[in-house]
Amino acid sequence: MLQLPIYLDNHATTRTDPRVAEAMLPCFTEFFGNPASASHVFGREASKAVENARSSIAQSIGAADPQEIIFTSGATEADNLAVKGVAEALSDRGDHLITVQTEHPAVLNACRHLERAGFRTTCLPVDQEGHLDLEELKAAITDRTILVSVMAANSEIGTIHDIAAVGAICRERGVLFHTDATQAVGKIPFDVREIQADYASFTAHKMYGPKGVGALYIRQDAPRPVPQMDGGGQEQGLRSGTLNVPGIVGFAKALEICLQERETEERRVRALRDRLYAGLIGSLDGITLNGSADRRLPGNLNISFEHVRTDALLMSLRDLAVSGGSACATESPTPSYVLKAIGASDERAFSAVRFGVGRFNTAEEIEYAIQTVCEAVTRLRASRRQRAQGHVR
Ligand SMILES: *Cc1c(COP(=O)(O)O)cnc(C)c1O
């Protein structure tokens, strides 16, 4: 039986997998101790749960040592700690950072914050598919450059960057490399050694884990960022505050499940996404794919419907939870900066819809989505034609 509404916004967040929720439950009522309370068994049990989770997460991303994982409240905090913390730590060595126009606001606004403090940032452009030009990256690196921050995969248009190539360039030029890997970890192969990352951010709630917990990977020989939070000195002094034990346990469980099921899930989700796209272009004309046709996250589909406004379309798709632009920018009436960066006109940007297919979507749901979107677009285009004719008369 088809249950409505249908959730197709898995880049904004994901449903916590029931297996994850189950793993978290004992941490609320049984192992509820503070992991910093080493003097009693409650604290030691909680600490053991956290350290098991740390080892598991470290292993999942190819880290050499569990201590390379620093728990945070999510990817936003991890991005801030990496970008601002590394810039502050190395301010005597340089004052220049490089990032990309399509990064998440957590990275872009951290860079703006640093600019107000006297740092300079270069924000590299991207091509029509959302890819950056590696030659431009090389040319932008100077002897004052401290850090390069390039995301693994874009949350809006799904474009996957060649971060292994970015990492190789950074290593060769002696510049530190941070990647916001939030949309990649658990979904596509991701290994910090392969990409030679010094820092990597990711978060549990994009991989069927709970909200409010994430991590920053810090390579063991990389410079330590300056902490952005003062307090009791938890997480090797890099992130003070009592650890979110249930969240951390759920985070590890969520990533374990992602890795166990990744290959079959990647194939299944990609097939659903491809079917959604085929179904839409099979019945509608005037569709533009935003982003890359092939180097793209398996669950991501971002398309513009000619002569249809996103807000009107979303309003008539009451049974479908999809997004226009990015979730973080839906309050603002400005066109998506990511779509503008790939050269989309305002009109194309204001007619874009992002579909995020995920673990809990079924083939039946995709067929329903195709049907309702086709009906809504056809209806909106017809009423627009009528209005235009009325206007002529
Ligand atoms: C969701 C997201 C973030 C923010 O993560 P939070 O854990 O919600 O702070 C950062 N970067 C990317 C690419 C994201 O998709």
What average pLDDT does the segment 181-189 reach?
97
Q: Residue 312 above 50 pLDDT?
A: yes
What separation in Å is there between the alpha carbon of 74 and the centre of ligand 1? 7
Over residues 191-223, the pLDDT tens digits come to 999 999 999 999 999 999 999 999 999 999 999
Q: Which of 150, 203, 248 is the best mutation target for the ligand 1 pocket, counting ligand atoms within 8 Å of the beta carbon and taking the most?
A: 203
- pLDDT band at residue 369 using 50, 70 and 90 as cut-offs: very high
Amino acid identity, position 263: E
What average pLDDT does the segment 55-71 reach?
98
Q: Residue 329 above 70 pLDDT?
A: no
Q: Residue 328 above 70 pLDDT?
A: no
Report the pLDDT value the prediction gives residue 346, as an integer from 0 to 100.
Answer: 94
What is the number of the ligand 1 atom nearest to the C-alpha of 154? 13
Residues 78 and 24 in one domain: yes
Residues 170 and 318 in one domain: no
Question: Cα(253)–Cα(251) distance, rounded to whole angstroms?
Answer: 6
Q: Residue 327 above 50 pLDDT?
A: no
The rounded percent of the chain whose pLDDT value lies above 90 is: 94
Over residues 109-151, the pLDDT tens digits come to 999 999 999 999 999 999 999 999 999 999 999 999 999 999 9
CATH number for the domain harbouring residue 118: 3.40.640.10
Report the pLDDT value the prediction gives residue 333, as an integer from 0 to 100.
Answer: 72
Domain range enclosing 146: 18-257
Distance, CA of 309 to chain centre: 25
Tell me how far apart the terminal alpha carbons of the chain are, to the nearest angstrom: 48
- pLDDT band at residue 370 using 50, 70 and 90 as cut-offs: very high
- pLDDT band at residue 325 using 50, 70 and 90 as cut-offs: low
Contact by Cβ (8 Å): 174, 151: no
The answer to whether residue 1 is domain-embedded is: no
Over residues 5-41, the pLDDT tens digits come to 999 999 999 999 999 999 999 999 999 999 999 999 9
Residues 223 and 89 in one domain: yes
Which of 257, 280, 315 terminates a domain? The answer is 257
Amino acid identity, position 112: R
Question: Cα(282)–Cα(289) distance, rounded to whole angstroms?
Answer: 14
Report the pLDDT value the prediction gives residue 331, as an integer from 0 to 100.
Answer: 59
Which of 214, 235, 257 terminates a domain? The answer is 257
Which of 195, 222, 257 terminates a domain? The answer is 257
Residues 75 and 213 in one domain: yes
Q: Which of 182, 183, 201, 328 is the best mutation target for the ligand 1 pocket, counting ligand atoms within 8 Å of the beta carbon and taking the most?
A: 182
Q: Residue 350 above 90 pLDDT?
A: yes
What average pLDDT does the segment 258-286 reach?
97
Q: Residue 162 above 60 pLDDT?
A: yes
Q: How many separate helices (H) and strands (E) can be counted in the chain?
A: 11, 12
Report the pLDDT value the prediction gives residue 388, as an integer from 0 to 100.
Answer: 87
Amino acid identity, position 123: C
CATH number for the domain harbouring residue 356: 3.90.1150.10
Record the pTM: 0.96
Q: Residue 4 above 90 pLDDT?
A: yes
> Is 258 a catalytic site residue?
no
Residues 217 and 293 in one domain: no
What is the number of the ligand 1 atom nearest to the C-alpha of 79? 10
Question: Cα(124)–Cα(183) distance, rounded to whole angstroms?
Answer: 20
Report the pLDDT value the prediction gives residue 269, as an integer from 0 to 100.
Answer: 98
Residues 194 and 311 in one domain: no
- Where does ligand 1 bind, in terms of residues with CB under 6 Å? 74-76, 104, 106, 151, 155, 180, 182-183, 203, 205-206, 214
Total domain count, the chain: 2
Residues 250 and 323 in one domain: no
Residues 279 and 308 in one domain: yes
What separation in Å is there between the alpha carbon of 75 and the centre of ligand 1? 5
Residue 69 corresponds to which tokens in the numbers above?
A: 């994982």
